[in-house]
Each structure stands twice: as structure tokens, then as C-alpha cells.
């Protein structure tokens, strides 16, 4: 019952929340992926953690969620461990 428009503004400089701000100015409903709710920060040598995903990764997450109706499965499919986030059960291994 929803249409998802994937994208963002690509620029050499970082303008945090700019796409969100533009959507709110136009009274568009927005959403973010529930990375914080289903994943945990993994210990890594660079202490690097990023929730910023490429468009193809977002597409992978949403299409897997559509197929499985499982956020853990969907996030595992689209969020690489290089982003610094893993599912809680991966930490125990």
C-alpha cells in the first residue's frame, strides 16, 4: 500500500538531513530502515559504524523484506558487515 522512492542527493560535500528536510517541506511521508532497532554495533579496528547505504543496498533490504517479512533477514541481506553493524546473533558467534 506504499510506494518507496529510493534516492538522495549526491554531492561532494556532506549535507546531513537535506533529503529529509526537502521531503518534510513538501509534506511527504518519510521512513528510515530499522538498523538501530535490529542490529548492533560490531567491534572493529577502526571503530567505524555507518547507517548510510547505497541505493542498491536499500533496494536489497526492501525487496528481501517484501519477500520474507523479516527485518533481520532483510537487513542481513543488504547491510554489509563493513558498515559496522551486525545482527545480535552474529556477535555471539
How does pLDDT run across 62-92, given as a tens digit for each residue? 999 999 999 999 999 999 988 999 999 876 5
Residue 22 domain-assigned (yes or no): no
Tally of domains in the chain: 1
Residue 81 domain-assigned (yes or no): yes
Question: Do residues 42 and 31 make contact, with C-beta atoms less than 8 angstroms apart?
Answer: no
Collect all residues with Cβ–Cβ distance below 8 Å to 23 and sequence separation of at least 6: 30
Residue with cell 509534506: 27
Q: pTM for this one?
A: 0.80
Catalytic residues: 11
Q: Tell me: the pLDDT tens digits for 32-61?
A: 899 999 999 998 888 899 998 888 999 999
Residue 56 domain-assigned (yes or no): yes
Residue 67 domain-assigned (yes or no): yes
Residue 26 domain-assigned (yes or no): no
* Region of residue 85 (phi > 0: left; psi between -120 and 50: alpha; otherwise: beta): beta
Residue 28 domain-assigned (yes or no): no
Domain that holds residue 50: 33-92
Residue 52 domain-assigned (yes or no): yes
Residue 1 domain-assigned (yes or no): no
Q: Tell me, what's the pLDDT at 9? A: 62
Q: Tell me, what's the pLDDT at 12? A: 60
Amino acid at each position: 500500500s506504499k510506494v518507496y522512492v529510493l534516492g538522495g542527493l549526491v554531492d561532494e560535500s556532506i549535507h546531513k538531513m537535506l533529503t529529509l528536510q526537502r521531503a518534510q517541506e513538501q509534506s511527504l511521508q518519510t521512513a528510515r530502515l530499522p538498523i538501530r532497532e535490529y542490529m548492533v554495533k560490531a567491534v572493529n579496528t577502526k571503530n567505524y559504524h555507518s547507517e548510510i547505504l547505497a541505493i542498491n543496498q536499500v533496494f536489497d533490504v526492501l525487496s528481501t523484506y517484501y519477500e520474507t517479512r523479516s527485518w533481520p533477514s532483510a537487513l542481513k541481506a543488504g547491510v554489509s558487515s563493513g558498515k559496522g553493524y551486525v545482527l545480535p546473533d552474529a556477535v555471539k558467534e
